[in-house]
Amino acid sequence: MAATTTVYHREVIKVSPTRQRVMGIIFLVLAFITWFFLERSVKAGVITSFGLNAINKGVILPEWRLETQVTLLVISIICAILGGIQLARGFKRYTNFVLAIVVTFFVFAFLTWAAAGQSLNLAGLLYDTLSDAVPLVLAALSGVLSESGGVVNIAIEGMMLMGACSASFFASISHSLWIGMVAGLISGILLAWIHGYLSIHYKVNQIVSGTIINIFATGLTSYISTKFLQVYQNLNDPGVFKPIPIPGLVNIPVIGTILFYNNILVYIMFLILIVVQVALLNTVWGLRMRAVGEHPKAADTLGVNVIQTRYMAVLLSGAMAGFAGAYFTIGSVGRFDSLMTGGRGFIGLAAMIFGNYTPVGAFGAGLLFGFADSLASKLAILGINVPSSILLMIPYIATMIVLAGVVGGSRAPAADGVPYTKE
């Protein structure tokens, strides 16, 4: 059977017979798991209830009640049919889209099984998913900006920590959350400048430079927290941005309170996502940025200032990471604690890879990681005997599958991490 060719983002992608069979087997395996392990373990007549109100705002809907066993059986049949079609002739260019549908069905089946005989607030789960995903999406966008310009930035974690600490401190002493947010941005930019100066000017190994910044930021913020913020509570009491309902939109059933009842930082995140997507992929500036990341010598020949462009990429990346850190303190928790980012800068890098180094892809991957985090806490409340660590592993396993090329692969810019010397 000859390989089928599809076009995606102006790149030619080969859908091989082997990958077609692998995807079909994946669909069938998920169907088998849904039937054998989930549906067979539930007694007939058991009801699963899903709450459709994230908060008591907007339109209040009654619970969605489903017969658990029947729902699981229907989902397993649908997944099996899709798997059979994929094995027989394949969905060709729509394979990844069908994969997303099958995975969504499987996740819903798992939630239905987990909440069998109980009630799970589905809208609340999605609301928490968005909240948990905000810093991950921003961290992923930080990586996209830097690596589109050809500079690897593993210092995002340190920049986020510094942004969180600075935002809490300056918001507390100024009694202004906006000043705290600006302070978070500036701190991220300063660390990004150091990273850029070392890796672009002195051509220091970019991984080493990023690691140094992470160690420095971890030590400095931990010291400030121990010696000052924990001792003088007035220096670590910034408050948080309150949710702002969008009139009219917040009343949309189910999704209204999920999307349109958030604080200003969440709305800014969506605005940044749109701006970065358009600027990076649909403007001359974005074309130059990507050209520097792909082939800096050719870009230099055409008159693009490679060094300046790379500095711009790194500084924008730092601003994004600082903003992500500020979200932890003035957008969520309301105080700074040592190591409070919990490795989410590195998770953001994984989301960037999973999203194939594109802004929209990074957003989707960030939601996936945020969903796994939110789901772990919800299942703990339901008393489900599934270790949270297993659930948190799922996005990383998915990232490794992407890197292995099973679902289309992920390709970094060709000159990513390669220093440039102007001849």
Is residue 238 a contact partner of residue 183, using CB atoms and an 8 Å limit? no
Instruction: Give the position of tokens 């959350």.
Output: 177
Cα(419)–Cα(199) distance, integer angstroms? 7
Q: How far apart are the first and last CA of the chain?
A: 48
**pLDDT tens digits, 306-365:** 999 999 999 999 999 999 999 999 999 999 999 999 899 999 999 999 899 999 999 999
Q: Considering only CA atoms, which of 110, 96, 76, 106 is closest in space to residue 361?
A: 96
> What's the pTM?
0.91
Q: Two tokens at 94?
A: 């729509």
| CB-side neighbour CA atoms (13 Å) of 252 | 14
Cα(389)–Cα(366) distance, integer angstroms? 18
If you ran DSSP here, which 8-state letter would residue 252 be given? S
| CB-side neighbour CA atoms (13 Å) of 295 | 6
Contacts with 322 (C-beta within 8 Å, 6 or more apart), sequence order? 159, 160, 162, 163, 166, 184, 185, 186, 187, 188, 189, 191
| CB-side neighbour CA atoms (13 Å) of 238 | 33
Low-confidence ranges of the chain (pLDDT < 70): 1-15, 58, 385, 402-409
What are the contacts of 223-229 at 24+ separation with CB within 8 A? 224/165, 224/169, 225/165, 225/336, 225/337, 225/338, 226/338, 229/165, 229/168, 229/169, 229/335, 229/336
If you ran DSSP here, which 8-state letter would residue 254 be given? T
User: Cα–Cα distances in Å, from 49 out to 45, 52, 107, 109?
Assistant: 13, 10, 16, 13
Q: What is the largest CA-CA distance in the chain?
A: 75
Cα(319)–Cα(186) distance, integer angstroms? 7
Q: Tally the residues of the chain.
A: 423
Instruction: Determine what percent of the chain falls in helix, strand and coil, rounding each to the nearest 5.
Output: 70, 5, 25
CB atoms within 10 A of CB 338: 15
Q: Two tokens at 213?
A: 């910044």
SS3 35: helix
Is residue 50 a contact partner of residue 120, using CB atoms and an 8 Å limit? yes
Q: 136-156: string of b/e by CB count within 10 Å (b at 16+)?
A: bbbbbbbbbbbbbbbbbbbbb
Can you give the pLDDT at residue 137? 97
CB atoms within 10 A of CB 400: 13
Cα(167)–Cα(160) distance, integer angstroms? 10
Can you give the pLDDT at residue 10? 40
Domain with CATH 1.10.3470 in the chain: 124-403
User: 124-403 sits in which CATH class?
Assistant: mainly alpha
Can you give the pLDDT at residue 112? 96
Q: Which residues pair with 47 in a beta bridge?
A: 67
Can you give the pLDDT at residue 98? 92
Cα(100)–Cα(96) distance, integer angstroms? 6
Q: Considering only CA atoms, which of 70, 76, 337, 82 is closest in space to residue 226?
A: 337
Give counts: helices (H), strands (E), the chain: 15, 7
Can you give the pLDDT at residue 380? 78
